[in-house]
Structure 1
Amino acid sequence: MDTVSLIDIAGYLPENRVPAEFFAQFAGTDRLAENIMFRSPRFRHHVAPDESAVDMAERAVAPISARQGSDAVASVDILITHTQLPDLPILGTGGELARRIGLSPEWVIDLHNGGCASFVYMIKLARQIMQTSSATSALIVNVQNSAGQIFVQPDVVSLSQASVPGDGAAAALLTKSTAGPVLGITCRTYPEYAGDMTTAVDPPRKYWEPGTGQIHVGFTESKITKVLARGNRLVPEVALSVCSQIGVRTEAIDAFVTNQPNRLFLRNWRDALELPEDRHPDSFDECGNLFGAGIPVTLDIENRAGRIPNGSLVMMAGFAHAGDFAGAAAVRWGAAS
C-alpha cells in the first residue's frame, strides 16, 4: 500500500480571548457547578459574531497555502471537513471552502460524525481513499465554533458547562509520500452509546422549531458518570491498540496529543499510558475544550513552538460525544517547519 504522510498542519484561534472571569459574573445555581467535568480553563477563544465556519476554515488553511504554495493546496484531490456548528443546517463547510480557496477536488466530504476524534477519522478516510484510488493529496479541516454562539446565549451562559468550550479551527495536508508517514490507525464505533449525547431545551422542542428556550447540552449526573467511565477507558484502549499495531511500547511515544474535555481526562489518559506530563501537551488552559479541533490545534501550537521535531513519534487519540466513537493514529512527524 502507498505510504500516506501528514506533511503540514496549521491552526486558527479567533481574536476574542475570553477569561474565566467573564463566566463568573453569570454564575447561577447550576446543580452541576461542582462537577469535575466543568472545571473552567483560564481562557478560551470565542468566534466573532459575524465570523462563519467557512471563514474559520479558510483562515486555518491560509498558513499551509503560504508554506506549501497555493498550487499545492489548489490541486488537492480530497477535501474533508468536520464542523461542529454548520452555518446552514443542510450544508457542511466543504463546498463553500473549496470555492473560496480555488479547489476543484474529486472528493468533497463533510464528515458529521467522529466528534472530538474526527481529526483521526479524517486521516483514516483520507488515507483509505489515497491508497485505493489515483488521489495523491488531501486537505482535512476541523472547525469548532459553538462556544461563542451556543454557550453564550443568555439562558446558557450561567450554566457550568458554558465556560469549558472554546472556538478554533485547524487544517492539515496529507500526501502520498514518506515525509511524515501515518504508521497506524485504530477507529472504533460503539453504537450502544450513540443515544446518550442529547441536547436540552425548556420547554422541550425540536431544535428547528420556534420557541423560547435555548438549546444546550443535556448533561445529567448519571450521564456524566457514564461519560467519565467510558472516556477514561476508550482513549487508552485505542492508543494502546495502535502501539500494538506498529510494534512499539508507550514509552516510545514522544508526543501524546488527545482531545481535551477537562483536566481529569488529561491526567488519567497520561497516567494510563505511563507518560510524563511533558510528553502529553495540551492547550486546555488557553483554549478550553476545542472538541474536534483540539488535537490539530494543539499539534499546531506545539509544532510552531519547536517541541515536535521531525522524526518524533506522535500519537493522537480521542473519543467522541458520550463514547460512541474513539480513534487513535500514530505518525512519524514530518511537518516541523
Structure 2
Amino acid sequence: MIPVSLVDVDAFLPERVVGADFYLSPDAAEADSDNHFLRAPAERRHIDPRETASQLMERAVAPMLERIRARGEDAHVDMVLTNVTIPDRIINGSGAELVNRLGLKPAPEWIIDVHNSGCISFVHMMKIARQVIASGGARSALICNVANMAGQFFARPEMRHRRHAPIPGDGCGVAFLRAGDESPILDSVTLHEPRYTYDMNLSVDTRKYWEPGEGEVDFGFTNSGVQEIVERGNRMVPRVTTELCERLGTPTADIDLLVTNQPNRMFLANWRESLGVKPERHPDTFDSYGNLFGAGVPVTLAKARDDGMLRKGDLLVLSGFAYAGDFAAATAVRW
C-alpha cells in the first residue's frame, strides 16, 4: 500500500471581525444564553455576502501551493475535494470553479464536491483521498473546507437576534496530501449513525426552501432536543478517537496534539477530559472564530502549526462529529 502524507495546511479568515453586540436584540433577552450549548464566542469573522466559497478557497490554497513550490517540491494537483457549509454552486459544486481560479492545467482528473459529513468532512475527505492515492489512482490531493453561513445567513436582520445566530463564524481551511511517508496518515476511523440523519434540517414549515412563502429559512434540530445532541457528541468523539488509538496501540492520553471541530466550549472540555488530553494539547479557536463547521479542523490545525504547537514526530489526531450526530470520524498523522 502506497503511504500517503499530510504535507501542508493553511487557512483564510475574512478580515471583518464581529463582536457579540452585533447580535443583541432590542431588549437583549436572547443575547446571553444560559444554555452552554448556545453560549456565544467572543468574536467571529464574517464574509461579504457577495464572496463565493471558491474565492475563499483560492485565498487559502494559493499561498500554500506557492510555499510548497518554494521548498522545491511538486505542487501538482491530481484531486480536488471540497465541502461548503452552504453550497453556493448548488448545481455543479465549487471544485471546478476553484480549479479554474487557480489556473490548474491540466485540470485534475478527480474533482469531488463532498456534500455530507459536515463538521468533520475534513477527515472524511482525507480518508477518501488517502484511499485513492494509496491505490495508485492519484499522487496528490487538495482538500478544501469552507464555512460561509455567518456573514450570509445569520447576519441578516431577520436572523441575527435568534439565540443560535452568534455561534457560527466564516473561514476556510485547506490541506495538501501527497504520496510519500514524510508526514504519513497512519489510520482513520469513521462512524455513520443514519438514524439521526433527520434530526437536523432546514426549518421552513411545509414548503421547499426554493418555493415562495412567508417565514425565514432557518437551520435547526427537528426530532431530537439539544440534550440528545449533547449526549451523542460526548459519546461519539471519544468513541472514534479511542478506537483509532487502540488500532495504533497508543493510549489517548499520549496524543501529542488533538485537533477537533469547534462547536462550543462544552464539547471541547468534555472531549479532552474523557480522552485524558491536557488543554495545552487540544487547541481551541472557538472564542476567536466561532463554530467554523467543516473548516474548524483545518483552520485550527493551521493555527496550531503556526503557533509552534506541532513538532516533528508528534502524534497528531484529528477528530469530531457532524450535524445532530449522524457521522463521526478520526484520523492520525505522524507529523
Aligned twin of 2:116: 113
Please say if residues 57 and 98 of structure 2, whose CA atoms lie closer than 8 Å, have aligned partners that are also in contact: yes
How far residue 33 of structure 1 moved from its aligned partner, in angstroms, is 3.9
Cα distance between partner residues in 2 of 1:304 and 1:211: 47
Q: What whole-Å deviation, never above 9, does each CA across 1:83-132 have from its counterpart, x for those lacking one?
A: 11122322311010011112211111000011001000000000000111
Query: What amino acid sits opposite 1:266 in the alignment?
Result: L
For 1:124, the aligned partner's letter is K
CA distance in 2, matches of 1:218, 1:28: 22
Question: Does the C-alpha gap of structure 1 residues 185 and 27 become closer, same or farther in structure 2, counting only changes over 3 Å?
Answer: farther
Q: Larger deviation: 220-229 or 278-287?
A: 220-229
Q: CA deviation at 1:29?
A: 5.0
| Equivalent residue runs for 1:81-230 within 5 Å | 81-103=82-104, 104-201=107-204, 204-219=206-221, 222-230=224-232
Q: One-letter code of the match for 1:265?
A: F
Work out the percentage of aligned pairs sharing the same amino acid: 46
Question: What is the identity, as a one-letter code, of the residue corresponding to 2:145?
Answer: N
* 1:28, distance to aligned residue in structure 2 (A): 5.7
Written as runs of structure 1 = structure 2, the 5 A alignment for 1:159-308 is: 159-201=162-204, 204-219=206-221, 222-308=224-310
Native 8 Å contact 1:4 1:176 kept in 2: yes
1:57 corresponds in structure 2 to 57
**SS of aligned partner of 1:11:** strand
Secondary structure of the equivalent of 1:315? strand
Q: TM-score, structure 2 length as denominator?
A: 0.94
- Which deviations, in whole Å up to 9, do the C-alpha atoms of 1:287-324 show, x marking residues without a partner? 00000000100000111111112211111101010011
Map Cα deviations across residues 122-160 of structure 1 (whole Å, 9 max, x no partner): 000000001112411111000110111111122211111
Matches within 5 A, 1:28-47: 33-47=33-47
- Kept in 2, the 8 Å contact 1:45–1:167? The answer is yes
Distance 2:52 2:73 in 1: 25
For 2:33 and 2:221, locate their aligned partners in 1 and report how far apart those are by CA, in whole Å: 12
Q: 1:194–1:72: structure 2 CA closer, same or farther, 3 Å change rule? A: farther
Indicate if the aligned counterparts of 1:73 and 1:139 stay in contact, CA closer than 8 A. Answer: no
Deviation at 1:250, TM superposition (A): 1.2
| Residue 9 (str. 1) matches residue 9 (str. 2) | yes
SS of 2:198's partner is coil
Query: Cα–Cα, structure 1 residues 284 and 142, in superposed 2: closer, same or farther, change >3 Å?
Result: same
Question: Equivalent residue of 2:151, what SS?
Answer: coil
* Residues 310 and 26 (structure 1), Cα distance of their counterparts in 2 relative to 1, 3 Å cut: farther
Contact 1:94 1:108 in 2 (8 A): yes
Quick one: structure 1 residues 299 and 122, their matched pair in 2 at CA, closer, same or farther if it must change by over 3 Å?
same
Measure, in 2, the Cα distance between the counterparts of 1:228 and 1:106: 40
- Residues 60 and 169 in structure 1, CA contact (< 8 A), matched pair in contact too: yes
* C-alpha distance in structure 2 between counterparts of 1:266 and 1:27, whole Å: 31
Secondary structure, counterpart of 2:235 in structure 1: helix
In the aligned structure 2, how far is the partner of 1:51 from the partner of 1:303? Answer: 27
The one-letter amino acid of 2:172's match is A
Q: Please name the residue that 1:48 is paired with.
A: 48
* Gaps in structure 1 of 5+ consecutive residues: none
Residue type at the aligned position of 2:252: T
Residue 6 of structure 2 aligns with an amino acid whose one-letter code is: L
Kept after mapping to 1: 8 A contact 2:3/2:179:
yes
Give the TM-score of the pair, scaled to structure 1.
0.94
Q: What is the CA-CA distance between 1:76 and the residue it aligns to?
A: 1.1
Deviates more, 1:7-16 or 1:146-155: 146-155
Matching residue's letter, 2:310:
I
Pick closer, same or farther for the CA change 1:153–1:211 going to 2, 3 Å. farther
d(CA) in 1 for partners of 2:92 and 2:26? 34
In structure 1, give the amino acid aligned to 2:85: Q
- Please tell me whether the aligned partners of residues 198 and 222 of structure 2 are also in contact (alpha carbons under 8 angstroms): no
Name structure 2 gaps, 5 residues minimum.
Answer: none
Task: Tell me whether 323-332 or 67-76 shows the greater mean CA deviation.
Answer: 67-76
Letter in 2 for 1:80: L
Tell me how many residue pairs correspond in the alignment: 332
Structure 1 CA distance for aligned equivalents of residues 311 and 112 of structure 2: 31
Task: Give the Å deviation of 1:222.
Answer: 4.4
Partner SS state of residue 194, structure 1:
helix
1:150 and 1:215 in contact (8 A); partners too: no
Distance 1:37-1:73 versus aligned 2 partners, 3 A rule: farther
The separation in 2 between residues aligned to 1:12 and 1:54, in whole angstroms, is 12
Cα drift, residue 34 of structure 1: 2.9
Could you tell me how far 1:10 is from its partner in structure 2? 0.2
Distance 1:168 1:36, change over 3 A: same
Give the distance between the partners of 2:54 and 2:214, measured in 1 at CA. 28
Counterparts in 2 of 1:89 and 1:148: CA distance versus 1, 3 Å:
same
* SS of alignment partner, residue 69 of structure 1: helix
